[in-house]
Amino acid sequence: MEPKTYSTIELRKRMGEILDRTRIAGEPAAITRKGKTLAYLVPAEWFEQYVAQGRAAAVGDPRAPVWGGLVGFGRAAAGAGGPGGTADPTPSRCQRRKNL
């Protein structure tokens, strides 16, 4: 199923409707800003299945990044730190402010 695309402005104006379409009708949504996809909104069941499949795939693979209960998802896949991941060498904004 091809996700329907919404800009961040549309999302702000029609949040309830978009959430209902995703939850009730099972329609995924792509959220964009300036023409670039920022995120996908999917039904909770889809995401829960994704997480369960990722955990099952990671069992027995010590190299699989696991962080915050999500396997290979978002920043954890890029090595954001936490158990099983590697720390990001780039300091955060808060860390940079502390160094000033």
Which tens digit of pLDDT belongs to each residue from 39-49? Answer: 999 999 998 98
Q: How many domains does the chain have?
A: 2
Q: How confident is the model over 20-36, as pLDDT tens digits?
A: 999 999 999 999 999 99
Same domain as 20, residue 37: yes
Name the residue range of residue 53's domain: 45-99
Q: What is the DSSP string of 15-57?
A: HHHHHHHHHHH---EEEEETTEEEEEE--HHHHHHHHHHHHHH
Same domain, 52 and 85: yes
Do 50 and 33 share a structural domain?
Answer: no
This prediction's pTM: 0.53
Asked if residue 75 lies in contact with residue 59, where contact means CB atoms within 8 angstroms, the answer is no
pLDDT profile of the chain (100 residues), mean per 10: 92 95 93 95 91 72 51 44 49 57
Domain containing residue 17: CATH number: 3.40.1620.10
